[in-house]
């Protein structure tokens, strides 16, 4: 995103140090970053080689805080023990000022080219905003000269790239600030490490026993007496309780229990997946077997159907002929006179006609009866075949249904295991809490995943308190507490009213010292209350690296979309 400066001919006095640095680097086989035209295939190969070397740098054992001072043109890197690295920088020049505020590393790319400034090369790019601000190797003339990015010396950019990871906290301030050891009851605590430490911490209450007898001391109003600790805190009881089944919906009370619940959830998901895979294999075998078993009854059914259908057609035709004979005989009998009323010749003809129709009716009745008998015998045989066919068909269809259910169960088990693995991965990521005093809202994210957003109670502030970042660097000597560090990204002068504009705030927000930072941070913490249920969630998720950001500003939505932890602008 930023174009480097290339010098031709005589080197300007302000940049002689750069030329000297380039000469030194060239002696050791390195090269200065001088712009896109200088980055050929050979230099790209060198950058990639340097990236592999940077990856060898031993990662820090505690979270990092990267703090940039624009006025000092300095970047410092801190871990739990203090400063571990520092370097000069070159930030945005007038008109392209580098924004100040709270950021994190959003993206890392060894070799990156700007899509804004003509493909300018940006080695060891570490993005802190999606709108284009990043750390990267570049020219360091000794004054702000970039288009907004934070340029670093090539060697230091390589070192920083090896130290940081996605999510590393970055604070860019106008003045020089440093992490301050800080503690406050308003800062959340982790879950106790285990049952034993929970019993020792001030969160646990002594075991009590209800009794009916009033104590001798009339000043004591309740009837509760403390039990000796040895009654309920034996190691055997602790182990027994640890082995008891737990309600997976119950909140853990210790970190050990939280880890155990998570591991049990993962184990259950894996076991469910194995069960679903076995059930699917069994269902597939059964479906295949029943499909094959269905072939024989199906063939016999078709053969029996081909036999019975002609019998049915023959019966239908015979019954139709019988009905025709019945109708003909009935019609003749209803339309003729009696034999006594006819002449002898006509009577003889009538008797012959009647006899013929009667014989025809008898013949058709006999044929119909024979057809019925044949059809009945055929239907009985067909019914036997059809019963076997229906049973095989039902078995096949049932096996197919079981197979579909098994496939659905496997999909659900795979999704559950994926969710459990994701939750396990999330547990290793720090939780970040942002309190916007102006919006009176709380936001929680774990890594880049939004977890919760809710309104909170905020006491009206008489003046600005600024923006402050509290980071849990590690567990303290008491494993049930955190070792916190405060970095004030913006500290107004004491009593600065809200109506002061940005310009005045920029002029007056000078370095006032550690005491003012602590004062403003303390006032910021005292201005809000986190609901107990939300605090319980935060406590359950809190690990070293977790942070609390308190600001009297609002969350800029245009910088806090998907793939972002929190970006809080102070300028």
Do domains 13-176 and 429-569 share one topology? The answer is: yes
The pLDDT assigned to 345 comes to 67
Top-level CATH class of 429-569? mainly beta
- The region of weakest confidence among 295-304, 420-429, 533-542 is 420-429
The pLDDT assigned to 367 comes to 92
Nearest to 427 by CA among 263, 268, 280, 208: 263
**What pLDDT digit, counting tens, does each position of 137-155 carry?**
999 999 999 999 999 999 9
The pLDDT assigned to 514 comes to 84
Q: Find tokens 């249920």 and name the residue.
A: 533
Q: Which residues pair with 75 in a beta bridge?
A: 68, 87
**What pLDDT digit, counting tens, does each position of 271-321 carry?**
999 999 999 999 999 999 999 999 999 999 999 999 989 999 999 999 999
Q: Given pLDDT bands bounded at 50, 70 and 90, which one contains residue 493?
A: low
Q: What are the residue boundaries of the structural domains of the chain, listed by start?
A: 13-176, 258-427, 429-569
Top-level CATH class of 13-176? mainly beta
User: Cα–Cα distance between 22 and 18 in angstroms, integer?
Assistant: 6
- The region of weakest confidence among 85-94, 271-280, 324-333 is 324-333
Number of neighbouring beta carbons within 10 Å of residue 452: 13
Kindly report each contact of residues 254-260 with a partner whose C-beta sits within 8 Å and lies 24 or more positions away, as own/partner: 254/191, 254/192, 254/193, 254/194, 254/195, 254/197, 254/198, 255/190, 255/191, 255/192, 255/193, 255/194, 256/193, 256/194, 256/195, 257/191, 257/195, 258/191, 258/540
Record the tokens describing residue 414, joined without a space. 């795979």
Instruction: Read off the pTM.
Output: 0.66
Q: Find tokens 């019945």 and name the residue.
A: 326
Q: CA 66 from chain center: how many Å?
A: 27
- Compute the average pLDDT of residues 10-29: 40
**pLDDT at 28 > cutoff 50:** no
User: Who's near 202: CB < 8 A, 6+ residues apart?
Assistant: none
The pLDDT assigned to 155 comes to 95
The pLDDT assigned to 134 comes to 94
**pLDDT at 195 > cutoff 60:** yes
Q: Which residues pair with 485 in a beta bridge?
A: 181, 471
User: Cα–Cα distance between 143 and 133 in angstroms, integer?
Assistant: 17
**pLDDT at 29 > cutoff 50:** no
Report DSSP letters for 149-216, one per residue: SEEE-HHHHHHHHHH--TT-EEEEESS----EEE--TTS--PPPSSHHHHHHSTTSPPPEEE-SSPPS
């Amino acid at each position: 995103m930023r174009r480097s400066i290339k010098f031709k001919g005589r080197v300007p006095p302000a940049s002689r140090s750069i030329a000297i640095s380039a000469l030194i680097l060239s002696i050791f086989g390195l090269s200065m970053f001088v712009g896109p035209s200088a980055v050929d295939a050979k230099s790209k190969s060198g950058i990639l080689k340097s990236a592999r070397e940077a990856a060898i740098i031993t990662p820090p054992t505690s979270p990092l805080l990267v703090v940039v001072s624009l006025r000092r043109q300095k970047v410092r890197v801190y871990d739990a023990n203090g400063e571990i690295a520092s370097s000069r920088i070159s930030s945005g020049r007038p008109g392209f000022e580098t924004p100040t505020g709270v950021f994190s590393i959003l993206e890392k790319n060894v070799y990156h080219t700007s899509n804004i400034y003509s493909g300018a090369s940006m080695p060891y790019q570490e993005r802190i905003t999606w709108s284009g601000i990043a750390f990267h190797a570049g020219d360091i003339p000794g004054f702000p000269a970039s288009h907004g990015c934070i340029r670093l010396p090539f060697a230091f950019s390589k070192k920083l790239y090896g130290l940081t990871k996605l999510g590393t906290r970055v604070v860019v301030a106008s003045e020089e600030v440093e992490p301050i050891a800080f503690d406050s009851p308003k800062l959340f605590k982790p879950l106790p490490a285990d049952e034993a430490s929970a019993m020792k911490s001030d969160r646990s209450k002594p075991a009590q026993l209800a009794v009916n007898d009033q104590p001798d001391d009339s000043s004591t109003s309740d009837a509760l007496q403390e039990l000796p600790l040895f009654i309920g805190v034996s190691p055997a009881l602790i182990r027994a309780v640890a082995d008891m089944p737990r309600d997976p919906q119950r909140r853990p009370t210790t970190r050990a229990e939280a880890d155990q619940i998570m591991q049990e959830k993962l184990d259950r998901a894996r076991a469910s997946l194995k069960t679903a895979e076995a059930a699917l294999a069994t269902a597939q075998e059964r479906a295949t077997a029943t499909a094959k078993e269905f072939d024989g009854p199906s063939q016999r059914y078709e053969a029996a159907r081909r036999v019975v259908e002609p019998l049915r057609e023959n019966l239908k035709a015979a019954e139709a002929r019988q009905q025709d004979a019945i109708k003909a005989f009935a019609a003749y009998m209803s339309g003729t006179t009696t034999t006594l009323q006819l002449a002898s010749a006509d009577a003889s003809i009538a008797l012959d006609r009647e006899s013929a129709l009667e014989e025809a009716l008898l013949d058709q009745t006999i044929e119909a009866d024979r057809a019925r008998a044949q059809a009945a015998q055929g239907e009985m045989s067909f019914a036997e075949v059809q019963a076997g066919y229906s049973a095989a068909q039902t078995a096949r269809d049932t096996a197919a249904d079981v197979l579909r259910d098994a496939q659905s169960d496997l999909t659900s088990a795979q999704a559950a295991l994926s969710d459990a693995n994701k939750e396990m991965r999330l547990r290793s990521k720090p939780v970040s809490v942002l309190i916007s005093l102006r919006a009176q809202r709380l936001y929680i994210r774990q890594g880049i995943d939004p977890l919760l957003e809710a309104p909170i109670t905020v006491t009206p502030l008489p003046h600005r308190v600024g923006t402050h970042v509290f980071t849990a660097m590690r567990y303290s000597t008491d494993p049930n507490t955190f070792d916190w560090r405060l970095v004030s990204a913006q500290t107004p002068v004491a009593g600065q009213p809200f109506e002061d504009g940005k310009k005045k705030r920029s002029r007056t927000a000078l370095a006032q010292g550690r005491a003012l930072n602590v004062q403003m941070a303390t006032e910021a913490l005292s201005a809000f209350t986190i609901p107990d249920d939300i605090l319980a969630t935060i406590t359950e998720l809190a690990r070293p690296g977790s942070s609390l950001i308190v600001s009297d500003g609002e969350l800029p939505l245009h910088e806090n979309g998907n793939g972002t932890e929190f970006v809080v602008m102070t300028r």
